[in-house]
């Protein structure tokens, strides 16, 4: 089984946030509006975080796109009381939206805050509503459940089905999440971390490679290449 | 509305009369108090329905502060529920006689606190309609399941532990409140009006006070007393572990389990003081809930305050002395950040005030303990809040410092829940005696026997002299206390 992982090159990323926008369009996350966003209600499965240190003119800014880290040792899955969230056989941490009781313990447990909660019944302005992704896997979630980045698992399923329909073996390069596909700076890479011939294998072993909060032992599968 | 009382054969002791008085008569003040509390409960229901319809967005919560006031309330109420266990179980097991007049109030606090605590968790769920998933799909790897299990066991045991010692009292009420028709024989008085009699009759399960029944009851209560202590300890330990098991700064602490248990007993005794003083004043029970209860329980509260302060010092000194970055951010939030006023208020209310009041004997009175307990009740709520909010506003990734401003909904639900707690408590004691009559009588009997034994032991020489051997005046009836020897010579 491929161990799906992502590498994000922080030298190439210039924080255009196309990845965030593409993720929203692919996965039907509802827009929160400026007021609700100020209250921390925005649902952005992929978010670009700004780490700012120092004062102008000596500010140091690090802009980091942050999807779900898809940890191999995910603290969020241990605490779910009903096993609504678990690491599936593809190594992707998924949420069963029909089972989730909305206790938000997983959201509190995640050290990266990649989990989002539906505080209201989700709504879309008419322009966005007309362009919702019709895929049933990403049907809009109801109020009161937790959701998060799934490495666009619906694309994985489609790629596997397509390969089967075409009678050829499924190849890891057949599938990539929307953020990786859209990245304007070609800063995001995706593939099988265990395949010694894959690009992500090489990059994840690069001396520039690091992971967020590595000391916590969560074993995230999203690697970053150091800036500068 | 007075209940019909069979006056013919009743000879009531002063204790019985005092304890049953509120069951017979209801004053204007009571209805006014219930009215005020009921108004708050109605507010609670209205905002709750609104939250149910609109979603948890009506709260002040937001990422990353996914837990806030409701979880604070949950921990607070479960903490208070330790009032009953300490008093009734531990003091029973250690044979502390002074517990007798306050066991009923303590056990009632536990019962209602657990119900309100569980309610707080339920109203915090995003999908309350799916709560049964916890039963159907529950997995024990999750600390929340440990919570559900332990709290359910504790609720069932506490209900039993409240009910069992009430049986003899319920039987007494049944006997005292037997409808007049039964006495007169054949009168067609409507029995529906005497619903209380029927309630007591059913609940007293045929108790008639025989030695055998007493033996069985004492045995059952003793077993429950011993069992309920580890259950109660487990409850607040697993409540602490919904924080302690998670890798959030200043939560992942090994001390959390014992810290919460100490805090629970601490806040439990404080609540007990508040409610027992209220009941004592309102129901006129000053003679039985007296100086001894306030003195000894006050000493216990003082000890718990010192204990709590010791754990707090240990936690904060250890965190502050180290250089772990994520923990230091949370610590700074409490010591010098926006949570500093809360933190210092907590120290003042939980340690400074109780210590100052309770260290002196003159402070361990109804007035003094109410001041200390009110301070502790507020202080311990703040303690729960300052455990939850500062950590969540400073996530380890450290790219933001969030702000949590509770909304009107959360504040209304908090005060509404407290009002509901008080209202249920008052209504309960309108129906059931606030003092365990038989236990106090048993205590008085034991005390009288002890006094008598001490008296007899204090006399020099053979203490018991039969009247015939002593050669006293002829015709002295048997059963007259023996004359002291010196009068014989």
Name the residue facing B57 among A111, A116, A120 (closest C-beta): A120
Helix ranges (H only) for B125-190 are 133-136, 143-163, 167-176, 180-184
Residue with token string 């605490």: A79
Task: Determine the Cα–Cα distance for residues A152 and B313; give it in Å rounded to an integer.
Answer: 48
Q: Which tokens in the block code for residue B116?
A: 């309100």
Q: Are A5 and A107 in contact, with CB atoms under 8 Å apart?
A: no
Q: Is A146 left (phi over 0), alpha (psi -120 to 50) or beta?
A: beta
B103 pLDDT higher than 90:
yes
Contact yes or no for A81 and B64 at CB 8 A: no
pLDDT at B191: 53
Mean pLDDT of chain B: 89
Looking at residue A114, which CATH number applies to its domain?
3.30.70.20
Range of the domain at B474: 461-489
ipTM associated with this complex: 0.94
pLDDT of residue A126 exceeding 70, the answer is yes
Does the residue B8 lie in any domain? Answer: no
Q: Which domain holds residue A111?
A: 4-225
Q: How confident is the model at residue B481 (pLDDT cuts 50, 70, 90)?
A: low
The pLDDT of B218-229, averaged and rounded, is 93
User: Do residue B399 and residue A83 have CB atoms under 8 angstroms apart?
Assistant: no
Domain assignment present for B288: yes
| Residue B384 · residue B256 · CB < 8 Å | no
B138 plus B259 within the same structural domain:
yes
Q: What is the mean predicted confidence (pLDDT) over B238-267?
A: 95
For residue B330, the chain A residues in CB contact (below 8 A) are none
The full DSSP string for B9-70 is: S----HHHHHHHHHHH---HHHHHHHHHHHHHHHHHHHHHHHHHHH-GGGSS-BTTB---HH
**pLDDT of amino acid B220:** 94
Under the banding of pLDDT at 50, 70 and 90, the label for residue A201 is very high
End-to-end CA distance of chain A: 34
Q: What's the pLDDT band for B375 if we cut at 50, 70, 90? A: very high
User: Which residues have CB under 8 Å from A221's CB, separation 6+?
Assistant: A3, A4, A5, A6, A69, A70, A71, A72, A91, A193
Domain shared by B383 and B484, yes or no: no
As a whole number, mean pLDDT of residues B323-349 equals 95
What is the overall mean pLDDT for chain A?
Answer: 95
CA distances to A122, B27, B67, B313 from B332, rounded to whole Å, are: 37, 52, 20, 15
DSSP SS3 for B222: helix
**Residue A1: pLDDT band with limits 50, 70, 90:** confident
Do B327 and B470 have their domain in common?
A: no
In the A/B pair of chains, how many CB contacts fall below 8 A?
A: 132
Q: Any residues with CB less than 8 A from the CB of B255 and at least 6 apart, and which?
A: B311, B314, B315
First to last CA, chain B: 64
Does residue B221 lie in a domain region?
yes
Alpha helices in A39-139 (DSSP H): 75-78, 105-109, 126-129
User: Nearest to residue B294, comparing CAs of B269, B268, B261?
Assistant: B269
Q: Identify all chain B residues contacting A83, using CB atoms and an 8 Å cutoff.
A: 137, 139
- Residue B463's pLDDT band (cuts 50, 70, 90): low
Q: What is the pLDDT of residues B18-69, one digit of tens each?
A: 898 888 888 999 999 999 999 999 999 999 999 999 999 999 999 999 999 9
Same domain, B393 and B467: no
Within 8 A by CB and 6+ apart from B194, the residues are: B3, B4, B177, B179
Q: Do B246 and A36 touch (CB under 8 A)?
A: no
Counting the structural domains of chain B, the total is 2
Whole-angstrom Cα distance, residue B239 to residue B237?
Answer: 5
Same domain, B198 and B288: yes
Domain-embedded: residue B199: yes
User: Is the model's pLDDT at B209 over the cut of 90?
Assistant: no
Residues B291-308 have a mean pLDDT of 95
Nearest to B106 by CA among B128, B129, B90: B90
Query: Residue B48's domain is classified under what CATH number?
Result: 1.20.1630.10
Identify the pLDDT of residue B83. 85
As a three-state string, the secondary structure of B43-58 is HHHHHHHHHHHHCHHH
Quick one: B227 and B351 in the same domain?
yes
Domain count, chain A: 1
pLDDT at residue B229 greater than cutoff 90: yes
Among candidates A59, A61, A39, A43, which has minimal Cα distance to A51?
A61
Whole-angstrom distance, CA of residue B412 vs CA of residue B72: 14
Residues B445, B448, B452, B453: is their CA dihedral positive or negative? positive
Determine the average pLDDT of the residues in A192-204: 96
Residue B396 with chain A: CB contacts under 8 Å: 111, 213, 216
Q: With respect to residue B124, please indicate whether it lies within any of the assigned structural domains.
A: yes
Helices (DSSP H) in B322-407: which residue ranges?
325-335, 340-347, 353-358, 366-393
Choose between B463 and B248: higher pLDDT.
Answer: B248
Q: Is residue B7 part of a domain?
A: no
Res A139 pLDDT > 90 = yes
Which residues of B make CB contacts under 8 Å with A?
A: 54-57, 60-67, 124-128, 130-131, 133-134, 136-139, 141-145, 148, 242, 245-248, 392, 395-399, 402
**Domain check: are B138 and B257 in the same one?**
yes
- Given a cut of 90, whether residue B353 has pLDDT beyond it is yes
Do B328 and B466 belong to one domain? no
pLDDT for the residue A142: 96
- Region A15-36: what's the mean pLDDT? 95
Instruction: Please answer yes or no on whether A80 and B56 come within 8 Å at the CB atom.
Output: no
What is the structure's pLDDT at B462?
Answer: 66
Q: How far is CA B269 from the centre of its chain?
A: 7
**Gap from A191 CA to chain B (nearest CA, Å):** 25
Tell me whether residues B125 and A84 touch, CB distance under 8 A.
no
What is the per-residue pLDDT for B195? 85
Q: What is d(CA A201, CA B70) in angstroms, rounded to the nearest whole number?
A: 45
Residue B466 domain-assigned? yes
pTM of the model: 0.91
Stretch B181-206: mean pLDDT:
68
In this structure, the answer to whether residues B319 and B411 fall within a common structural domain is yes
Cis peptide before B64 (omega within 30 of 0): yes
Tens of pLDDT, residue by residue over B58-97, are 999 999 999 999 999 999 999 999 988 877 899 999 989 9
The reply to whether B405 and B259 lie within a common domain is yes
- In a domain, residue B68? The reply is yes
Q: Is A48 on the interface with B (CB under 8 A)?
A: no
């Amino acid at each position: 089984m491929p161990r799906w992982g992502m590498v994000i090159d922080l030298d190439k990323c210039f924080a255009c946030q196309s990845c965030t926008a593409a993720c929203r369009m692919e996965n039907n996350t509802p827009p929160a509006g400026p007021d609700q966003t100020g209250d921390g209600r925005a649902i952005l499965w992929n978010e670009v975080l700004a780490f700012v240190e120092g004062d102008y003119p000596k500010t140091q800014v690090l802009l980091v796109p942050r999807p779900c880290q898809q940890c191999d040792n995910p603290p969020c899955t241990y605490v779910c009381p009903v096993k609504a969230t678990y690491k599936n056989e593809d190594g992707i941490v998924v949420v069963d939206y029909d089972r989730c009781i909305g206790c938000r313990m997983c959201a509190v447990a995640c050290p990266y805050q990649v989990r989002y909660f539906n505080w209201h019944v989700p709504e879309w302005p008419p322009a966005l509503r007309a362009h919702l992704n019709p895929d049933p896997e990403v049907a809009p979630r109801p109020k009161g459940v937790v959701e998060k980045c799934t490495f666009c698992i619906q694309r994985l399923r489609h790629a596997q089905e397509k390969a089967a329909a075409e009678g050829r073996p499924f190849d890891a390069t057949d599938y990539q999440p929307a953020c990786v596909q859209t990245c304007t700076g070609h800063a995001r890479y995706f593939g099988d971390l265990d395949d010694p011939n894959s690009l992500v294998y090489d990059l994840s072993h690069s001396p520039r490679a690091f992971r967020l909060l590595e000391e916590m032992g969560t074993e995230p599968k999203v690697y970053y290449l150091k800036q500068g | 509305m007075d209940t019909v009382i069979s006056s013919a054969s009743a000879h009531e002791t002063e204790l019985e009369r005092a304890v049953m008085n509120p069951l017979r008569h209801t004053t204007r003040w009571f209805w006014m108090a219930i009215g005020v509390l009921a108004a708050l409960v109605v507010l609670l229901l209205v905002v709750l329905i609104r939250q149910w319809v609109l979603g948890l967005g009506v709260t002040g919560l937001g990422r990353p502060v996914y837990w806030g006031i409701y979880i604070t309330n949950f921990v607070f109420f479960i903490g208070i529920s330790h009032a009953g266990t300490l008093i009734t179980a531990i003091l029973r097991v250690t044979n502390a006689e002074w517990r007798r007049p306050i066991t009923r109030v303590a056990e009632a606090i536990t019962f209602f606190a657990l119900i309100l605590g569980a309610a707080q968790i339920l109203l915090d769920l995003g999908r309350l309609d799916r709560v049964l998933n916890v039963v159907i799909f529950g997995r024990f790897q999750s600390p929340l399941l440990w919570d559900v299990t332990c709290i359910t066991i504790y609720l069932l045991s506490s209900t039993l532990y409240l009910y069992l010692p009430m049986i003899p009292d319920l039987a007494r009420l049944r006997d005292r409140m037997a409808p007049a028709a039964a006495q007169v024989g054949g009168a067609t008085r409507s029995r529906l009006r005497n619903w209380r009699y029927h309630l007591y009759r059913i609940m007293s399960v045929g108790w008639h006070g025989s030695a055998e029944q007493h033996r069985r009851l004492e045995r059952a209560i003793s077993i429950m007393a011993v069992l309920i202590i580890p259950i109660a300890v487990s409850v607040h330990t697993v409540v602490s572990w919904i924080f302690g098991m998670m890798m959030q700064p200043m939560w992942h602490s090994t001390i959390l389990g014992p810290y919460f248990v100490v805090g629970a007993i601490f806040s439990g005794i404080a609540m007990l003081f508040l409610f027992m003083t209220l009941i004592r004043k309102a129901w006129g029970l000053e003679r039985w809930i007296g100086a001894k209860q306030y003195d000894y329980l006050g000493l216990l509260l003082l000890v718990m305050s010192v204990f709590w302060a010791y754990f707090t010092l240990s936690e904060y000194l250890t965190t502050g002395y180290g250089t772990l970055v994520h923990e230091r951010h949370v610590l700074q939030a409490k010591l010098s950040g926006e949570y500093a006023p809360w933190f210092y208020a907590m120290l003042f209310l939980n340690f400074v005030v109780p210590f100052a009041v309770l260290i002196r004997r003159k402070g361990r009175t109804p007035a003094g303990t109410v001041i200390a307990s009110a301070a502790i009740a507020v202080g311990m709520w703040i303690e729960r809040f300052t455990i939850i909010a500062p950590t969540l506003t400073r996530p380890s990734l450290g790219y933001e410092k969030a702000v949590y401003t509770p909304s009107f909904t959360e504040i209304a639900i908090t005060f509404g829940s407290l009002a509901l707690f008080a209202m249920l408590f008052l209504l309960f004691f309108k129906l059931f005696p606030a003092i365990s009559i038989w236990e106090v009588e048993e205590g008085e009997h034991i005390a009288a026997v002890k006094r008598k034994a001490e008296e007899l032991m204090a006399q020099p020489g053979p203490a018991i002299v039969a009247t015939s051997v002593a050669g006293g005046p002829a015709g002295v009836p048997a059963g007259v206390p023996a004359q002291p020897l010196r009068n014989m010579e």
